[in-house]
């Protein structure tokens, strides 16, 4: 899994069903402006605050998350 995350050009985050981050790749941190390994150490609300200003339609993004989970 880690070699896949390290080889793709897109930002990726794997979470559990409670939205806690299990693993991310470096590209995600580059895109959203945080140290990717910090996402694993923080709660889902903190991670959402970090990315909120970089998501064009944040309410739609949150709605999509609710539907996916």
> Token digits for 2?
């880690």
Q: What is the pLDDT of residues 22-54, one digit of tens each?
A: 999 999 999 988 888 899 999 988 998 988 999
What CA–CA distance (Å, rounded) separates 53 from 19? 19
Confidence of residue 1 (pLDDT cuts 50, 70, 90): confident
Determine whether 11 is exposed, middle or buried from the number of CB atoms within 10 Å of its CB (0-12, 13-18, 19+): middle
Phi, psi at 9, each rounded to 5°:
-95, 0
Q: Is the pTM of this model over 0.85?
A: no
Among 53, 49, 9, 50, CA closest to 27? 9
- Vertex 13 angle, CA 53 and 21, to 5°: 90
Give the pLDDT score at 36: 86
């Amino acid at each position: 899994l880690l070699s896949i995350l390290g080889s793709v050009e897109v930002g990726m985050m794997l979470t559990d069903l409670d939205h806690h981050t299990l693993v991310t790749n470096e590209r995600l941190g580059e895109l959203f402006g945080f140290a990717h390994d910090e996402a694993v150490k923080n709660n889902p609300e903190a991670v959402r605050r970090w990315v909120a200003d970089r998501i064009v339609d944040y309410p739609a993004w949150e709605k999509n998350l609710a539907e996916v989970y």
